[in-house]
Amino acid sequence: MCQSKNCAVIYTFTNKVSVHEAISSILVGKLSIFIMDNQNHQETNAAADQLRDYIKQQLHTGLNPNEIRTQLQQAGWQDNLINSAFLLVQNDVVPNTEQSPEMQNQAIDTQQPTQQEAETPIVQLGETNSQPQPAATITRGRFRTGWLLFKQSLRLLKNNKKLTRYMFMSFLVGLILTIVYAVIFIVGKHVLLQTSTTSRSSYSSLKPAGYVVAFLYYILAYFVINIYSAGLVANVIDLFHGQSQDYTHYMKMAWSKSGTLFVFSFIEASIGLILRVIAERSKLLGRIIALIIGALWSLARLFVIPVIVTSDDNAFKSIRRSTKLLISTWGENLVGRVSFGAVTIILFIVVLIPISLVFIFLASLIGHVIGGLISIAFIALLFMAFSILMTTASNVLNTALFYFAQYRQIPAAFDAELINSVFISRKRKGLFGLGGKTT
């Protein structure tokens, strides 16, 4: 063994070099690990961005988020990447929900788009800071616009068939309610109805107690429709946000707003009954006034259910906010909107009536009694299915319009230009009707 000072110096120097190399190796290793982690993080972000774009495209076609998730899992994508991509999508399309309803109302009140903002083109789903344009002139005709919107609503329903359950339950509960009240009027007809006879005929009219019972029926009928519509609206808005829960979840949300929905149903029943009395007991001028008021009310109430679902506003504030949303988005000169009315009539004539006639003919070959019963049952089911489909599609369209007006985003499965052309503006006329312009 070397015991000289030189050996000691050499040993010490060698030992220090080894320690230095060890420390350097550790630092280099940590740096390599950091670089690899950073590269993995960047690759993860890139993959999440790629998935986000794919999810947006699929949502825009109306596909259910759960189905998109299942497809990605079957394709081998990891759950953490899928979850990150969905969070990115939700951050893109979900607005800031920390604002109070008062702040949101203030934002609507103070919203006055500049000329530059009004000329900015509408962007697609996921793009932010977009400003909607004024209502566009419908050049293709109201029927074709309604038909295209109906097809886009059906595209969403095709990929989310459970949406029809809300209106089916509304129809079923409403039918039960109608049967119950029919029995009440039959049993208590001496208390609720009075018969008047003239020289030519006799007719029945309501007594004061009959008006009370009829008004209660009006309120409950509107409440049944509104409570299930609220569940449907909550579900559709979640689909636009890239989320999806079960039917029970959304009906619990609807029932949590039952107090506000009942008050709104009372308002609707009151207005409906007043307009009906005016139309029945007035002459031509009174009927025209009732039609005008009814049309204005149909526009004012358009977004009330979505507003109730997405805020804590009471019924009166919801009506006021619905009107402000409509005006702030499409302008003050609205005279109507494209609906599914003409589409419903055409489909009824072209599809339902021929199918019903063919089935009646086939059923008549079986026998008069049995064939007649089968025909009645089939036609009733056919009309019920048709009614549920059209009502659901109409609710989906209304929710899409609210989503566009409230969040300044084009909802999934809908086209920006079609959404913008739903409402029709009247022409502003100059002196003696000359020199007007379209708004």
Claim to verify: residue 77 and residue 159 sit in the same structural domain: no
Phi, psi of 160 (to 5 degrees): -140, 70
Range of the domain at 70: 5-91
Claim to verify: residue 271 and residue 153 sit in the same structural domain: yes
- pLDDT on residue 171: 95
Query: What is the percent of the chain where pLDDT is above 90?
Result: 25
- pLDDT on residue 270: 93
- pLDDT on residue 120: 33
Claim to verify: residue 178 and residue 70 sit in the same structural domain: no
Claim to verify: residue 260 and residue 359 sit in the same structural domain: yes
Claim to verify: residue 243 and residue 310 sit in the same structural domain: yes
Report the number of distinct structural domains present in the chain: 2
User: Within a domain: residue 146?
Assistant: yes
Claim to verify: residue 370 and residue 279 sit in the same structural domain: yes
Question: Average pLDDT in the 290-315 region?
Answer: 92
- pLDDT on residue 188: 87
Local structure of residue 136 (DSSP, 8 states):
P
User: Within a domain: residue 287?
Assistant: yes
Claim to verify: residue 220 and residue 73 sit in the same structural domain: no
- pLDDT on residue 439: 42
Per-residue pLDDT tens over the stretch 152-210: 888 888 888 899 999 999 999 999 999 999 999 889 888 888 877 766 666 677 788 88
Residue matched to tokens 């986000």: 52
Per-residue pLDDT tens over the stretch 310-325: 999 999 999 999 999 9
Provide the terminal-to-terminal Cα distance of the chain, rounded to the nearest Å: 104
Would the pLDDT of 436 be above 50? no
The highest-confidence range among 99-103, 136-140, 201-205, by mean pLDDT, is 201-205
Claim to verify: residue 151 and residue 52 sit in the same structural domain: no
Q: Last residue of some domain: 65, 91, 117?
A: 91
Claim to verify: residue 77 and residue 135 sit in the same structural domain: no
Question: Average pLDDT in the 255-268 region?
Answer: 96
Name the average pLDDT for the chain.
75
User: Within a domain: residue 281?
Assistant: yes
User: Within a domain: residue 109?
Assistant: no
User: Within a domain: residue 110?
Assistant: no
Q: Last residue of some domain: 91, 117, 146?
A: 91
DSSP for 35-102? HHHHHHHHHHHHHHHHHHHHHHHHHHTT--HHHHHHHHHHTT--HHHHHHHHHHHHHHHS--TTS-HH
- C-alpha 59/C-alpha 66 separation (Å) is 11
Per-residue pLDDT tens over the stretch 366-401: 767 777 788 888 888 888 898 899 999 999 989 998
Per-residue pLDDT tens over the stretch 31-85: 455 445 555 555 566 666 667 777 766 666 556 677 677 767 755 577 777 777 7
Claim to verify: residue 74 and residue 153 sit in the same structural domain: no
User: Within a domain: residue 428?
Assistant: yes
User: Within a domain: residue 120?
Assistant: no
Phi-psi category of 106—alpha, beta or left, where left has phi over 0 and alpha has psi -120 to 50? Answer: alpha
Band (pLDDT 50/70/90 cuts) for residue 259 is very high
Structure tokens at 184: 């009440």
Claim to verify: residue 208 and residue 319 sit in the same structural domain: yes
Q: At what angle do helices 284-300 and 258-281 cross, to 10 degrees?
A: 160
Q: Last residue of some domain: 38, 63, 91?
A: 91
User: Within a domain: residue 232?
Assistant: yes
Side chain identity, residue 62: G
Claim to verify: residue 251 and residue 373 sit in the same structural domain: yes
- pLDDT on residue 180: 95
- pLDDT on residue 5: 45
